[in-house]
Amino acid sequence: MTEAVEKLTKKSEDTSRWYLQLVRMAKLADYGPVRGTFAIRPYGYAIWERIQADLDARFKATGHQNAYFPLLIPESYLKKEAEIVEAFDPELAWVTVGGREELEERLAVRPTSESIICEFYSNWVHSYRDLPLLINQWCNVMRWEKVTRPFLRTAEFLWQEGHTVHATAEGSREEALRMQGVYRDCFYEVLAMPVLTGAKSASERFPGALETFTCEGLMGDGRALQAATSHDLGQNFSRAFDITFLDEEQNRVYAHQTSWGFSTRVIGGLILVHGDDRGLRLPPKLAPTEAVIVPIWRGQNKGEVRREAEALYSELKAANLRMEIDLDEEHSPGWKFNEHELRGVPVRVELGPKDIEKGQAVLVRRDTGEKEFVGRKALSERLRALLSEIQTNMLRQATEFRDQNTRYAWSYDEFKELIESKRGFVVAPWDGTKETEQRIKDDTKATIRLLPFDQQEGNDLVSGKPGQTAVFARAY
Amino acid sequence: MTEAVEKLTKKSEDTSRWYLQLVRMAKLADYGPVRGTFAIRPYGYAIWERIQADLDARFKATGHQNAYFPLLIPESYLKKEAEIVEAFDPELAWVTVGGREELEERLAVRPTSESIICEFYSNWVHSYRDLPLLINQWCNVMRWEKVTRPFLRTAEFLWQEGHTVHATAEGSREEALRMQGVYRDCFYEVLAMPVLTGAKSASERFPGALETFTCEGLMGDGRALQAATSHDLGQNFSRAFDITFLDEEQNRVYAHQTSWGFSTRVIGGLILVHGDDRGLRLPPKLAPTEAVIVPIWRGQNKGEVRREAEALYSELKAANLRMEIDLDEEHSPGWKFNEHELRGVPVRVELGPKDIEKGQAVLVRRDTGEKEFVGRKALSERLRALLSEIQTNMLRQATEFRDQNTRYAWSYDEFKELIESKRGFVVAPWDGTKETEQRIKDDTKATIRLLPFDQQEGNDLVSGKPGQTAVFARAY
């Protein structure tokens, strides 16, 4: 066992400690000087780049364009929408001095950009012909959080925020649902995260939204993570920021809007969903390195093994596989195996003198640990198929875990017992009132994660009143 | 003539007014609420995305990885490098309040990230085996400028900043030169901007740099624009931030560093270099739309022309050309021609009833205004070739302009006369002293833009002392 792997706490023993160690040891992120700020290191950032590329292509395929809006938002703008200011005011960072002068009005570092983007939109939208306006922004945002954890909750994070304008209420509702669908597809197909989708209860909605749609992931420790949300803002912001247009009958009417966001927080989710006691496990579609070649040499055959390994590396790279080769001479193969397992590389390719003799290589899967011997000629084809199998298997594993940890509660005692001892998602009828929602939260720390789109009827476990099913969990 | 084009000032008459109008009319950017801040609108941002994609591929091909570092820099970090603080202090925006509390130490919104990145690097670099460390960051930065202009000088802008660490002085110098070369290739091959390259004089160097290498563009009004710079920082920052490593002989030594940046300012350069009285002209490689189809219909044939135009659009899109089709029914073809010329679309494809009859379409070049008739079957191939010709021609035109506006001065009177009446680049020997550099600046507002790599000897026009050639110009 290597020093590195020896030190990694077991996930099952202390997920929180395991998580922080893994982030540092796999060089995903590092703490910054200001509380709650982090650098995303190249290995972590490469994962983000792959998520970005996938989402960006999906946004463009659904007709969206990117743009960039200012970082700093005047205080008066934030105050135009009462719920926004109430929700974000405690978490804002304020610029009060610029160019050695005290500013007349202080400026918030954007916590989200509705209020500044709406100001631009009120100038850009004039006629029904300008709609729908479908814009997305990739940027940094800042929320002065008290308790932080790399990726999951940080003072500054990276995200995309979509902001769209529509002529009708149906238009904005459809868009909010469409983008939830785009997120869901990315979670399933790329992140191998089988999120549950539904709507938020009123108290968990985005401030000012008519309706918030959410993708909720289940982490390895049984806690939920709100992974991406999409909001139908209705006319709340267009009224506050005066976004009106002339409709086809020449009436001036308020526009309907949406916003939707997906952030680097999801990298935290990825670690918590797929990681294990040996470290990270990356779904192949996101892995910066799909496979790493580890040559296994001894003194006398080193030259030959090295040459063969390098030839194989060139060959697989030329076949458009994202490859790495570990030619380090300081460490043993065993040390390297552990290191690349820690980093979550989906496949290890071992090549020793015997393999060369037999014209083969050994493929070792990170997800199951299974080994197979493959002839050199079939290697690139087999490797590509294997990566696809691993992607599918990781989604299956995560889906099984989610399903095994999604339980129905038939009484409030059972509900409390499940949340306390099993965690996971607990499904129960809810009478739709804030009172029972709050009571359950106070009693169990569980919140309503989502209201499924296909709700069933039943009696609320607390009030006994008729209600519809909600999904509860303790959340990150 | 359309309302839009009628209103555009002639470039030759008032470049500054033309520029501001064009930025607004072509929907490239819009003014933000805080002085000097701007939104980059989708059309402008799409140009930036294409530049980004090209540069990012070049950075990766030269071994660099992306990462992300915190936005906010504690004041004490900035103070560690004396020249940095002196240079940037007047331009900083300060966060003084976070989460409703006055901060103990105020935090600058990054104007550039050397000081915070060096703090991380001092933890990441231990041994010669960790070097070279080749990292780039795409992000926003802020400089509280007094006089601003969209793209060219803005309080907030987008850029990339590379920050690398090397074992030797040769290593950092080679890297700084390599990245200047990467920038130069992107300017020539993609932006069609024939920048001059060389080194900066001591007074124009980046604060704390041993040497600054620059790419200088010549704008349409004869003023120079510093388009991208690359700095050999030597050991100045590693000493200030304690970045040391154990070399192969186990000695602890200070590392050598570089930094290099390329920003959205270049979009301003692109407009000023290539734009003309009719509006923008975009090099095809950067154009969000390579060609726009304008169907030319009258009442009775509208249905057929529209169908044919849409079929052509699908066909050309399927051939991987970035196409647009203008099916607007409100405006005349002439209005549309002007509109797409204003937006700088490289080629217009006209399709009318006669063209359909003859099985052809009309291609009109934005760069020269030339028309040609092309048979439908040859169209996608011809269009692709034409785009390549336009790209080449735009570089040739800009190079001719640059060469016609690069002049040698043989006396100080002639120098002053050239700067005043002709502008452009003026080449003259310089004795290498700050005094003559300052005298020339005071007399003429011209600064040394660069010291060419192939300098020639001669006597300084002011002091008469022996010197070497420098390139002077008035700059943006």
pLDDT at A2: 39
A394: in domain: no
**CATH for A377:** 3.40.50.800
Residue B470: enclosing H or E segment and its boundaries?
strand B466-473
The predicted structure's pLDDT at residue A35: 87
pLDDT at B2: 39
Instruction: Please tell me the least confidently modeled range out of B33-37, B333-337, B421-425.
Output: B33-37
* Cross-chain Cβ contact B33/A70 below 8 Å: yes
Q: Does residue A395 fall inside a structural domain?
A: no
Note the pLDDT tens digit of each residue in B4-43: 445 899 999 999 999 999 999 999 999 998 989 999 999 9
In a domain, B191, yes or no: yes
| Chain A residue closest in CA terms to B141 | A71
User: How distant is the Cα of B288 from the closest Cα of chain A, in angstroms?
Assistant: 11
Phi, then psi, of B46 in degrees rounded to 5 = -65, -35
Per-residue pLDDT at A49: 98
End-to-end Cα distance, chain A: 32
Beta bridge partners of residue A59, listed in sequence order: none
For the segment B203-226, the average pLDDT, to the nearest whole number, is 96
pLDDT at A5: 46
What's residue B6's pLDDT? 55
Closest by alpha carbon to A139, among A122, A154, A116, A156?
A156
Domain that holds residue B183: 3-274
Q: How many CA atoms lie within 13 A of B30 on its CB side?
A: 18
A73's CB contacts (< 8 A; 6+ apart) are: A107, A108, A110, A113, A115, A116
Rounded Cα gap, residues A38 and A24, in angstroms: 11
CA distance B61 to B181: 13
One-letter amino acid identity for A177?
L
The pLDDT-based confidence of B458 (bands split at 50, 70, 90) is very high
> Is B443 inside any structural domain?
yes
Q: What is the pTM of this model?
A: 0.96
Give me the total of CB pairs closer than 8 Å, taking one residue from chain A and one from chain B: 155
Identify from B52, B94, B135 which residue to disrupt to test chain A contact, counting A C-beta atoms within 10 A and taking the largest count: B94
Residue B154 and residue B219 in one domain:
yes
**Min Cα separation A222/chain B (Å):** 30
- Under an 8 A CB cutoff, do B140 and A71 touch? yes
The answer to whether A449 and A223 are in contact (CB under 8 A) is: no
**Do A7 and A94 have their domain in common?**
yes
Q: Is A401 part of a structural domain of the chain?
A: no
* Domain endpoint, select from B217, B240, B274: B274
pLDDT by residue (tens digit) across B277-329? 999 999 999 999 999 999 999 878 899 999 999 999 999 999 999 999 999 99
Residues B137 and B233 grouped into a single domain = yes
Query: B162: which chain A residues are within 8 Å (Cβ-Cβ)?
Result: none
**Residue B120 corresponds to which amino acid?**
F
**Digitized pLDDT (tens) for each residue of chain A, 476 residues in all:** 334 445 899 999 999 999 999 999 999 999 998 989 999 999 999 999 999 999 999 999 999 999 999 999 999 999 988 888 888 889 999 999 999 999 999 999 999 999 999 999 999 999 999 999 999 999 999 999 888 999 999 999 999 999 999 999 999 999 999 999 999 999 999 999 999 999 999 999 999 999 999 999 999 999 999 999 999 999 999 999 999 999 999 999 999 999 999 999 999 999 999 999 999 999 999 999 999 999 999 878 899 999 999 999 999 999 999 999 999 998 999 999 999 999 999 999 999 999 999 999 999 999 999 999 999 999 999 999 999 999 999 999 999 999 999 999 999 999 999 999 999 999 999 999 999 999 999 999 999 999 999 989 999 999 999 999 999 999 99
| Residues, chain B | 476
Distance of CA A169 to the CA centre of its chain: 28
Identify whether B400 is part of a domain. Answer: no
Higher pLDDT, residue B183 or B3:
B183
Residue in B44, B48, B96 closest to A94 by CB: B96
Q: Looking at the structure, tell me whether residues A321 and A416 fall in a common domain.
A: no
The Cα of B108 is separated from the nearest Cα of chain A by a number of Å equal to 9
Q: Retrieve residue B191's tokens.
A: 């932006």
CA distances from A105 to A71, B33, B99 (A): 15, 11, 17
Q: Verify whether the Cβ–Cβ distance B32 to A116 is below 8 Å.
A: yes
| A391 found inside a domain | no
User: The CATH number of the domain where A468 resides is what?
Assistant: 3.30.110.30
Tell me if A68 and B39 make a contact (CB, 8 A cut-off): yes
Regarding whether B459 and B364 lie in a shared domain, the answer is no
From B472's Cα to the closest Cα of chain A, the distance in A is: 29
Please indicate, yes or no, whether residues B158 and B21 belong to a single structural domain of this protein: yes
Nearest to B257 by CA among B230, B284, B282: B230
Is A30 in Cβ contact with B123 (below 8 Å)? yes
Could A41 and B67 be called an inter-chain contact, meaning their C-beta atoms sit closer than 8 Å?
yes
| Domain total of chain B | 3
| Alpha-carbon distance B8 to nearest alpha carbon in chain A (angstroms) | 20
The tokens for A298 are 């001894």
Among B33, B70, B123, beta carbon nearest to A34: B70
Find which of B25, B34, B69, B92 to mutate to test the A interface (most A CBs within 10 Å of its CB).
B34
pLDDT category at B429 given cuts 50, 70, 90 is: very high
How many other CB atoms are there within 10 angstroms of residue A354's CB atom? 10
* β-pair type (B291-295, B347-351): parallel
Do residue A116 and residue B33 have CB atoms under 8 angstroms apart? yes
Q: Would you tell me how many other CB atoms lie within 10 Å of the CB of residue B335?
A: 18
How far, in Å, CA of B452 to CA of A440, rounded? 73
Q: Among B72, B75, B120, B133, pick the best mutation site for testing chain A contact (most A Cβ within 10 A).
A: B72
Q: Please list, residue by residue across B134-146, b when 16 or more beta carbons sit within 10 angstroms of its beta carbon and e when fewer do.
A: bbbbbbbbbbbbe
CB pair distance less than 8 Å for A95 and B92: no
Q: B375: buried, middle or exposed (CB in 10 Å: 19+, 13-18, 0-12)?
A: exposed
Please give, rounded to a whole number of angstroms, the shortest distance from the CA of A308 to a CA of chain B: 23
Residues of A whose CB is below 8 A from B34: 70, 72, 74, 107
Would the CB atoms of B39 and A120 count as touching at under 8 Å? yes
- DSSP E strands in A326-461: the ranges are 347-351, 360-365, 371-375, 406-408, 425-430, 447-452, 457-459
How far is A154 from chain B, CA to nearest CA, in Å?
Answer: 11
Last residue of some domain: A240, A274, A308?
Answer: A274
| Domain stop point among A337, A354, A386 | A386
Between A65, A95, A99, which is nearest B42 by CB? Answer: A65
Q: What's the CA dihedral at B308, B311, B312, B317 to 10 degrees?
A: 160
What whole-number distance in Å separates Cα of residue B182 and Cα of residue B238? 25
Whether residue B153 is found in the same domain as residue B224 = yes
B214 CB contacts (<8 Å, ≥6 apart)?
Answer: B180, B197, B198, B199, B200, B226, B227, B228, B229, B230, B449, B450
Supply the CATH number for residue B180's domain: 3.30.930.10
In the chain, the amino acid numbered A282 is: L
Of the partner residues A46, A70, A135, the one whose CB lies closest to the CB of residue B156: A70
**A177 and A311, same structural domain?**
no
Nearest to B65 among A42, A107, A156 (CB): A42
Does residue A262 sit in the same domain as residue A328? no
Residues of chain A contacting B100 with CB distance shorter than 8 Å = 89-90
Instruction: Decide if A400 is inside a domain.
Output: no
Length of chain A: 476
Q: Which residues of A touch B69 (CB under 8 A)?
A: 32, 39
The arithmetic mean of pLDDT across residues B226-231, rounded, is: 97
Q: Same domain for B450 and B311?
A: no
Instruction: Examine the pLDDT at B1 and tell me if it is beyond 80.
Output: no
Identify all chain B residues contacting A97, using CB atoms and an 8 Å cutoff.
92-94, 96, 106
Closest CA to B418 of A154, B409, A298: B409
Whether the Cβ atoms of residue B352 and residue B297 lie closer than 8 Å to each other: yes
CA B211 – CA B219 distance, rounded (Å): 25
Cβ pair B70:A95 closer than 8 A: no
Selecting from A42, A94, A106 the residue whose C-beta is nearest the C-beta of B67 gives A42
Residue A269 sits in the same domain as residue A296: no
Dihedral through CA A158, CA A159, CA A164, CA A169, nearest 10?
-130
The shortest CB-CB distance from B67 to any of A32, A40, A96 is to A40
Q: Is B34 close to A70, i.e. CB distance below 8 A?
A: yes
B267 and B330 co-located in one domain: no
Rg of chain B (C-alpha set): 25
Min Cα–Cα distance to chain B from A78, Å: 12
Determine contact, residues A45/B118, Cβ cutoff 8 Å. no
Q: How far apart are the first and last CA of chain B?
A: 32
Structure confidence at residue A86 (pLDDT): 86
Contacts of residues A21-24 at CB distance under 8 Å and 24 or more positions apart, as own/partner, are A22/A271, A22/A275, A22/A279, A22/A280, A22/A342, A23/A150, A23/A151, A23/A271
Chain B residues closer than 8 Å to A102 by CB: none
